Amino acid sequence: MKSYIKGKYKKAIFTSDKGYFIGLFHLDETDNDVLSDFVDKTITFTGYFHELNEGDTYIFHGEEVEHPRYGLQFNVTEYEKVKPEDKDGVIEFLSSSLFPKVGKKLATSIVEVLGDKCLDKILEDKSILNLVPKITTKKIDLIYDNLLKYDESHQVIVYLTELGFNMKDSLEIYNKYKKDTLSIINDNIYRLIDDELDISFLKIDEVGRKLNIDRLDDNRIEALIIYLMKSMVFKSGDTYLNYQDIYDALCKYLNLGFDEIKFDDYLNKLNAKHKVCIEERKYYLKEMFDAGNSIVEKIKILLSLPKNKYKNIDSLIEEHEKMYGITYNALQKEAIKSSLEENILIITGGPGTGKTTIVKEIIELYRLLNKLSGDDMNKELQLLTPTGRASKRLSEATGYLATTIHRFLKWNKETNTFAIDEYNKDYSKFIIIDEVSMIDEQLFDSLFKGLTDNIKIILVGDYNQLPSVSPGQVLKDLIDSNVIKTIHLEELYRQSKNSYINTLANEIKNNDLSPNFLDQKSDYTFLECSSHSIRANLINLSKQILEKGYDYKNVQIMAPLYKGENGIDILNNDLQQIFNPKDKEKNELKIGDVTFRENDKVLQLVNMPEENIFNGDIGVINRITPASISKSGKTEIYIDFDSNIVKFLPKDFNKFRHGFVISIHKSQGSEFEVVVMPISYSYHRMLYRKLVYTGITRAKKKLILLGEADVFVSAVSNNQELVRNTSLKEKLMMMNNNLNKR
């Protein structure tokens, strides 16, 4: 519940370029019961501010929060400066940093001559300052201009918040346009999109309606086309769109037939303004067009560099085979050697083909051949992955520290920018990237931009996994272009030959399902049942899993869809009763239609890098503290993510959901001891080869399929998953043809 605090701003602990503050505040007055004990004491506050001056009095509106690390804080959503009214306060204000060169002496003189209400008098007529002895015209102008500036900025920000912008957005707008803010807002509010302010089209359009802007206003239509194009590519994964699809989307949004000639004009205008790129009837957002071209140019440079030559690679590999009791097959040896010789290389293969094992060997050989110490290795070689889960797995498997691409590039969450970029490059010499199938085109481009041209890059991934969530299909396009040397690992590694999971994965990949796929194996079971009986059978199976001594935290059930009779939502509800039934000893909390209970398995839905948890992480509710006994006065949910316990307050409860059953897409980059996958006709529109393949390859020790065999066979043969419109492959091939012609 919103409340207010009044007092003096003491100092900043942290500030950002966008006006985010963490600071100290001396509390004089409040209507907040929790904070009433802190009157006459210092508290911590957070929020977005245009300007704060140490020692000045403010009223902050917002609510108290209990940060898991930093304790009690006041989160500010609105604020106002309290103009000083007593003599001492006005003197202090006029001699503050807001009025440079005024000083305490002159400030005192102004107050003595003009009185306590001097600030209002000066704003009404600055010439009144001429009554102050020995004051110069220059200082009169300085005092008036700064006082007016401060007063106007506050009024503008208040106006923007009244229009519907939050404080963060209001500050961003004012800091961008300053004194021109009101004229720009009233002239063309859609300019906010043109100037790349981090404010959604829908919010700007909402304000536009309040300002009575015509729904067919040229500025609105141009902004709407860009918004629709962004929505479409992020939904489809395409990097370019077709004319008709954009036109149809515009007509649907406006709910009217739009003149095609006018539509053409808008597209051409957007092209001329470098917001849209048109190439062979392919329509790109400018940033995506540039990303694709930039990737091609980087690869062109890497392919043109001389290859590395080492004389004793073969003998070192043989030595390591004897030392570690490993026998590499011919393709694995080629992958190891090529990784050290090529400037860019792709290694692809399914589970059990030894990708991680040879990555470890590549790292060790690189260290030996270049005679590098541990510190030198940390400077020269980086292991990168798209997700925190994948980084953890890679670190455990290789013994070398791996990190996410975002962390490597020093991602700023607030500004959505990278500190490592084309102007501030990283100087590592060898980059190995795992799980490349999950990387989208723009992230791949950002990574390339942050690396020097004198770099060695190894791309590792499974060609047959699902593509990235965001636009592009980088690994597929790179491999299909045949421009970069690619090693396809096919043979199952020695330790995996007895695993039917890996054998089945291989069969699915090649669409060569053996007739005995229904036969039970040591690590695999297919339990046949009808679609309508999946829920009942899954409940019984879950009971059996518990009876056999499995920890439900290591068992992961996965399905393709959230809704329907066998959807994730209803299955989560069923399995909560099995894996974590109601118990008077366990606290629980109902949020909407869902009840969360202590010991529930949950799935994280958003990245929270400050807490070291990421989208797709699995945790367990450690405890639920009711509002009546919590220190914050709010219900608190503590979730354990692999011994990292994170506190969630009500405003964060939408950041997780039950994780007894998760989607196959959410499972990417993870592995689980036991995987159970329902196979139902009710999923048929979502069941295709890559999805099934991705799901079963998440299983480390045990795979159980439950459902209809004919549906499974149909899914394996269905290779018609949504085809993405991308042009990276074609551009790489064109680049390569041009090089070969020289």
User: β-pairing, 486-489 with 344-349?
Assistant: parallel
Q: Which of 29-33, 403-407, 596-600 has the highest mean pLDDT?
A: 596-600
Q: How many CB atoms lie within 10 A of CB 316?
A: 17
Q: Are 675 and 483 in contact (CB under 8 A)?
A: no
Q: Which of 536, 564, 655 is nearest to 603 (CA)?
A: 655
DSSP 55-80: T-EEEEEEEEEEETTTEEEEEEEEEE
Question: Is a pLDDT exceeding 70 seen at residue 69?
Answer: no
47: left (phi over 0), alpha (psi -120 to 50) or beta: left
Kindly report the length of the chain: 742
What is the biggest distance separating any 2 CA atoms in the chain, rounded to whole angstroms? 103
Choice between 654 and 458, residue whose per-residue pLDDT is larger: 458
Per-residue pLDDT band for 1 (boundaries 50, 70, 90) equals: low
Least confident of 10-19, 593-602, 686-695: 10-19
Helix (H, G, I), strand (E, B) or coil at 237: coil
Residue 9 CB coordination number (10 Å): 22
How do 456-461 and 344-349 pair as beta strands?
parallel
R_g of the chain, CA atoms, integer Å = 31
Q: How far apart are CA 742 and CA 738, in angstroms?
A: 7
Mean local confidence (pLDDT), 210-239: 93
- Let me know: does 624 contact 596? Beta carbons within 8 Å: yes
CA–CA distance, 456 with 459 (Å, rounded to integer): 10
Q: How confident is the model at residue 343 (pLDDT cuts 50, 70, 90)?
A: very high
> pLDDT by residue (tens digit) across 549-566?
888 888 999 998 888 888
Whether the per-residue pLDDT at 268 is higher than 60: the answer is yes
Tokens 């001396």 sit at which residue? 26
- Among residues 550, 557, 603, 535, the alpha carbon closest in space to that of 699 is found at 557
Secondary structure in 3-state letters for 526-574: EEECCHHHHHHHHHHHHHHHHHCCCCHHHEEEEECCCCCCCCHHHHHHH
Encode pLDDT of 98-139 as tens digits: 787 788 899 899 989 998 888 888 888 999 999 999 889 999
Task: Give the best-scoring range by mean pLDDT among 52-56, 193-197, 282-286, 375-379.
Answer: 282-286
- The DSSP code sequence of 119-174 is HHHHHH-GGGGGGSTT--HHHHHHHHHHHHHHHHHHHHHHHHHHHT--HHHHHHHH
Rounded to whole angstroms, the Cα distance separating 629 from 356 reads 49
User: What is the pairing mode between strands 601-604 and 71-81?
Assistant: unpaired
The rounded distance, in Å, linking the Cα atoms of 577 and 580 is 6
Tokens of 416: 């959505």
Give the bridge partners for 80, in sequence order: 59
Decide if pLDDT at 70 tops 70: no
Cα end-to-end span (Å), the chain: 70
Residues 6+ apart with CB under 8 A from 323: none
The pLDDT score that the predictor gives to residue 678 is 94
**How sure is the predictor about 442, in pLDDT bands with cuts at 50, 70 and 90?**
very high
* φ, ψ at 230 (rounded to 5°): -65, -45
Of 10, 14, 9, the residue nearest 414 (C-alpha)? 14
Q: Give DSSP secondary structure letters for 362-391.
A: HHHHHHHHTT--HHHHHHHEEEEESSHHHH
Residues above pLDDT 90, as percent of the chain:
48
The DSSP call for residue 178 is G
Judge contact between 193 and 223, C-beta under 8 A.
yes
Choice between 487 and 352, residue whose per-residue pLDDT is larger: 487
pLDDT of residue 494: 45
Strands 381-385 and 402-404: parallel
CB atoms under 10 Å from CB of 239, counted, come to 26
SS (H, E, C) 4-24: EEEEEEEEEEEECCCCEEEEE
Mean pLDDT of 247-268: 93
Q: Is residue 21 within 8 Å of 167, Cβ to Cβ?
A: no
Question: d(Cα 270, Cα 276) in Å, to the nearest integer?
Answer: 5
Q: Edge to edge, what strands does the sheet with 381-385 contain?
A: 402-404, 381-385, 430-433, 456-461, 344-349, 486-489
pLDDT band of 710, cuts 50, 70, 90: very high
CA 442 to chain centre: 13
Per-residue exposure over 283-303, b if at least 16 CB sit within 10 Å of its own CB, e if not: bbbeebbebbbbbbebbeebb
Q: Which of 406, 426, 428 is nearest to 418 (CA)?
A: 406
CB 462 within 8 A of CB 434: no
Predicted confidence band of residue 221 (pLDDT cuts 50, 70, 90): very high
CB atoms within 10 A of CB 176: 15
* pLDDT at 497 exceeding the cut of 60: no
pLDDT of amino acid 685 = 75
Mean pLDDT computed over 357-362: 93
Q: Of 510, 467, 526, 470, give the one whose Cα is nearest residue 694.
A: 467
Structure token digits, residue 74: 């006041």
Q: Residue type at 288?
A: M
Position 162 pLDDT exceeds 50: yes
Q: Average the pLDDT over 159-184 and give the result.
A: 82
Q: Give the residue with greater pLDDT, 545 vs 741.
A: 545
pLDDT at residue 722 in the model: 66
In this structure, what are the phi and psi dihedrals at residue 174, rounded to the nearest 5 degrees?
-65, -40
Mean pLDDT of 280-292: 95
Return d(Cα 421, Cα 452) in angstroms, integer.
10
Rounded CA-CA distance 358/339 in Å is 10
Q: Is pLDDT above 70 for 85?
A: no
Contacts of 446 (CB under 8 A, 6+ apart): 405, 409, 418, 421
pLDDT at 702: 93
Tokens of 331: 């393709």
Burial of 733 (C-beta count, 10 Å sphere; 0-12/13-18/19+): middle
**CA 336 distance to own-chain centroid:** 33
